[in-house]
Amino acid sequence: MKTRNFKEELLYAREHKYAVGAFNIFNYLSARAVIRAASALDLPVILQTSVTTVKKFGPNELGTMLRQLAWNAPVNVIIHLDHCTNVEIAKACIDSGWDSIMFDGSRLPLNENIAGCREVVSYAHRRGIMVEGELGKIGGVEDDIVVDAADATGADLDEAVYFARESGIDAFAPAIGTAHGVYKGTPHIDYKLVEELSKAIDTPLVVHGGTGLSDETFQRLISLGAAKINVSTAIKHAYIDSCQEYMAKNPDKLDPIDFDQFMNCSIKDTAMRHMSVFTANKI
């Protein structure tokens, strides 16, 4: 089912005081479980793929599988490429059925980040595909992008406004103090930057590093204008932990459908829990 596009869905969410959950999936089972979660709550959802997942399946095979799942879903399912630093891979995914692409030029100097975004935007927009950009350095590990805590850098307000305007992006992920992976302490989130950016630009804001943030943190960020929240590590945990739990509980059972169903429930519950928090104050 397709209703709103990526940007329309985020603008609608912001206007109605909720955020769209964006979950990193890595195979058919995880994609289907996240769609089941969204369908149970009757909410739109973003399925994100890492570049590693794209390379593993190939854009054509992965795109075909995800498009088919999205097509059959009773809710709007948007297929998004997460943290892509390579313009050619971004273009291959655009050509293979993705709805939106994150071009991650955050390691580049500002003008090169803008130029990279513009190149992807120009290719994408001609085909009706949307683009997310990042500024500042989000800490932690996501796919093959590793940023040590000491190197994580928050985005600067003036630069961020300039970047959002000049790059032509449809959604903006500024580094605000959240991090990918499991938090070792309480993150220091720059709420003021989120608030000021929301006032200064129209581009919907994206929060990375959703795993481990408190419900209060999510809701405060949403109240300040966050419209898309990324969750990856929690989905990986749901998959691997439930796999280990099933094997421990059923060492002699040879029933792959039952095994899949157990992992499906774990991922579905995890996605539903996050989506319920993201929409708790929906109007």
The least distance separating ligand 13P from the CB of residue 207, rounded to whole angstroms, comes to 8
Exactly one of 57, 181, 195, 196 binds ligand 13P (CB under 6 A); which one? 181
Within positions 232 to 261, which residues make up the interface with ligand 13P, using CB under 6 A? 232-234
230 binds ligand 13P (CB under 6 A): yes
Catalytic residue among 42, 82, 241, 260: 82
Pairing of strands 205-207, 226-231: parallel
Q: Residue 209 to residues 33, 44, 69, 157, 273: CA-CA distances in angstroms?
A: 20, 20, 26, 20, 16
> Residues 110-149 vs ligand 13P: string with x where CB under 6 A?
--------------------------------x-------
SS3 of 199, please? helix
Determine the longest span between alpha carbons in the chain, in angstroms.
Answer: 60
Do 48 and 80 form a contact (C-beta atoms < 8 A)?
yes
Exactly one of 43, 45, 59, 82 binds ligand 13P (CB under 6 A); which one? 82
Q: Using CB atoms within 10 A of its CB, is residue 221 exposed (0-12), middle (13-18) or buried (19+)?
A: buried
Cα 48 → chain centroid: 5
219 binds ligand 13P (CB under 6 A): no
Residue (260 or 269) nearer to ligand 13P, CB: 269
Exactly one of 14, 91, 208, 268 binds ligand 13P (CB under 6 A); which one? 208
Residue whose token pair is 């289907």: 32
Tokens read off for 220: 């405060």
Residues that bind ligand 13P (CB under 6 A): 24, 82-83, 142, 180-181, 208-211, 230-234
Query: Which residues are catalytically annotated?
Result: 82
